[in-house]
Amino acid sequence: MRYSELGGKEIIDLDNGERMGVVGQSDMIIDPSTGKIESIILPTGSLLNIGRKKEEVMIPWKAIRKIGSEMIIVEMKERTAKD
């Protein structure tokens, strides 16, 4: 799958049905030796959170359960915030 095919898809947490964000607003960790995606790093909060510390949620590729035409379903047992 190409990055362009992931762009714009919403990420939804299967455990609570919560919208986590959009792939186009995220970064990815890619294994340089294989070219495979290891994790998606998704920023949390909104643009209006001026003065707040920027936090990110790391979504391991193995947490992805389904990639559909409009969204990606992930199963996050525990969310880990990355500072």
Looking at the predicted structure, is the pLDDT value of residue 66 above 60? yes
User: Rounded to whole angstroms, how far apart are CA atoms 69 and 83?
Assistant: 31
Q: Collapsing DSSP states into helix, strand and coil, what is residue 41?
A: strand
Tokens for 59? Answer: 């979504």
- Per 3-state DSSP, the chain is made up of helix, strand and coil in percentages (nearest 5) of 10, 40, 45
Looking at the predicted structure, is the pLDDT value of residue 37 above 80? yes
More confident residue, 40 or 80: 40
Total Cβ atoms within 10 A of residue 59: 25
Looking at the predicted structure, is the pLDDT value of residue 23 above 80? yes
pLDDT confidence of residue 70: 92
Looking at the predicted structure, is the pLDDT value of residue 83 above 50? no
Pick 3-82's CATH classification: 3.20.190.10, 2.30.30.240, 3.10.105.10, 3.65.10.10.
2.30.30.240
Q: Quote the mean pLDDT of the chain.
A: 82
